[in-house]
Amino acid sequence: MDGSSPRELPARDRGHSPRDQPGLRRANLALVLRALREHGPHSRAGLSRLTGLNKATTSSLVAELEQRRLVRLGDAVPNQFGRPGHLVELRPAAVCGIGLEVNVDYLAVAVVDLPGNLVEHRRIAADVVALGQDRALDRLAELAEHGLAHVRGLAGWVSGITAAVPALVDSDNGVVRFAPNLGWRELPVVEGLARRLGLPADQLGVHNDANLSALAEYAHGVAAGSGDLLYLTGEVGVGGGVIAGGQLLRGATGFTGEVGHMPLDPTGTPCGCGRRGCWETQVGLAALLRAVGGPDDEVTDPSLDLEGRLAVVKGRAEAGDPRTLAALRQIGSALGVGASILVNVLNPTAVVLGGYFATLGEWLVEPALAELSGRVLAPERGGCALVLSDLGFTAAVRGGGYAALERVFDDPTLVPPGDSPGAGPGEGAR
C-alpha cells in the first residue's frame, strides 16, 4: 500500500489537483469510476459524454479499470450506429471495504462492495460496557476476521477496515477520546485492532458513528447523491453527521456534528451533561420512552430488547393510543425545532432521520416539518426535505465500509491489476 492513509475520511481538502501526467491519469480513472457510481452503468460513449473525456481516452481508462477488476462489461446495448456495445458497470464483490461498529449492546461487521452492495453483515449482541475495552476489541477483531475471510472467499481485494464508534474520535491518530455510553476513554482503537489482526495500522481507521452514517446515506441511502445532507441518529444520544458539497464536513480536528447538547431550554429537563434543556432531553430515546410509558410500563424496562420495545410503541401508535400519539407529536415538534437550527446553518437538501426517528417516523415527520417550515428562514425551507433512513441499524457499519472504499474512488491505481492477486490488505499482509 502507498502512503495515503485510510484513517482519513474523505474531507474537502482531499481533492488534490493532479500536477503531472501520472497524476492526471489517476484523476481521470477516478473521474470515470465516480461517474459510474453517481450515474449508474453507461456505455463508453455515455461515459465520454458524462466526463468530458474523449472516446479514445475513455476506452483506455475503462480497459485499465477492467484490468484492476473495478468495472466489468454488462448488458449489450445498441450504439448510435445500431452496432452492439456493452454497458460498463462497477464490478460487484471484487473490491470491498470492511466496516465495524461498536454500540452499547452490540458489535457488528459489514462488507460493502464498490457498487455499494452490502455483501455480508453480522451483528452480535454484546454488553460492551461490561466487556471492558480489551475484550470488546477482541470481539471486534474476530468480526473483522470474519469479514476478511468472507472477502477472501470471493477472491476479492479489501481496501481497508474502518470502525464506527459513538464517541468523540481523534481519527487522525486512531484514538477514541471519549465514548460516554461505552465508558471508553483515550482508547487507541486502530493500534489495538492492528495488533490483534496483524495488519499495518495504516489499513485501519476509526470514526464517529454519526459521521459514518451520513456517509452511508450519501453513498447508498434514501438521500444518495445529495451533496448537502444532515443525518441525525435517534438513539440514547442524538448525534449528527454532515455531508457538505459532496464531502463529509470534517472541521478543524474532526469533531463535527455534536448536536445532542444544543441548549434549547434553560429551565428544561436535567441532562446527563449536568445542564438543563439539552436537545437530547427532548428528543433522545429516553425522552420518548418517558413520554410514552409510565414507570411500570414494559417500554421503559431496560432488561427488554430495545427493538421489541419500539415495536410496542409503534403498535400503540397504530392503535391510536392517545398518550402515545401525544408523546410522538411533542417529540416530533421538538425534533423540528432543533433541526431548524441546523438547517438554518447548513442549508442541506435533506435531513435524514436514523435510529428510532426512522422507526417511528410516520408520526414524527408531520409535526417536525411544521416547525421546520415555520422556522427555516430560507424560502421553502431552503429546499430541505425530511426523510427517513431505510438503512436501519446498518447505517454506521456500512458507512465504515464506504469510508474504507473512498480511497479507491480517490485513486483507483491502489488496486493491483487482476493478474497479481493477493496484494490487498488482509491478504498481502498475512
Q: Which is closer to a second copy, CB of 13 or CB of 296?
A: 13
Query: CB-based contacts of 109: which residues, under 8 Å, 6+ apart?
Result: 98, 99, 100, 101, 120, 121, 122, 143, 144, 146, 147, 397
Which residue among 50, 168, 201, 291 contacts a second copy (CB under 8 A)? 168
- Side-chain half-sphere CA neighbours of 327 within 13 A: 22
Question: Contact region for a second copy (CB under 8 A) — 91-99, 296-304, 373-381, 418-426?
Answer: 373-381
Pattern 260-299, a second copy, x by CB under 8 A = -xxxxxxx-------x------------------------
257 contributes a contact to a second copy by CB under 8 A: yes
Which residue among 4, 18, 76, 77 contacts a second copy (CB under 8 A)? 18
Whole-number Å distance between alpha carbons of 315 and 293: 13
Q: Which is closer to a second copy, CB of 203 or CB of 226?
A: 226
Whole-number Å distance between alpha carbons of 397 and 40: 23
Nearest approach, Cβ of residue 137 and a second copy (Å): 22
- The closest of 97, 338, 106, 161 to 240, measured between CA atoms, is 338
Q: Taking the mean position of all CA atoms in its chain, how far away is CA 309?
A: 25
19 contributes a contact to a second copy by CB under 8 A: yes
Which residue among 147, 240, 284, 361 contacts a second copy (CB under 8 A)? 240
Q: Which of residues 302-361 bind a second copy (CB under 8 A)?
A: 337, 340-342, 344-349
Pairing type for strands 157-165 and 118-125 reads: unpaired
Question: Contact region for a second copy (CB under 8 A) — 117-125, 257-265, 324-332, 420-428?
Answer: 257-265
Helix (H, G, I), strand (E, B), or coil: what is residue 415? coil
Q: Which is closer to a second copy, CB of 147 or CB of 277?
A: 277
Q: Which is closer to a second copy, CB of 60 or CB of 349?
A: 349
Query: CB-based contacts of 208: which residues, under 8 Å, 6+ apart?
Result: 164, 165, 166, 167, 168, 169, 171, 239, 241, 254, 257
Which residue among 2, 3, 17, 130 contacts a second copy (CB under 8 A)? 17
Left (φ > 0), alpha (ψ -120 to 50) or beta: where does 4 sit?
A: beta
Nearest approach, Cβ of residue 12 and a second copy (Å): 3
Q: Which is closer to a second copy, CB of 121 or CB of 261?
A: 261
249 contributes a contact to a second copy by CB under 8 A: yes
Judged on CB neighbours under 10 Å (0-12, 13-18, 19+), 278 is buried
Distances (CA, A) of 390 to 49, 160, 213: 33, 25, 12
Q: Which is closer to a second copy, CB of 310 or CB of 350?
A: 350
Q: Which residues bind a second copy (CB under 8 A)?
A: 11-13, 15, 17-20, 24, 27-28, 30-31, 51-53, 168, 177-178, 226-228, 240, 242, 244-247, 249-259, 261-267, 275, 337, 340-342, 344-349, 375-379, 382-384
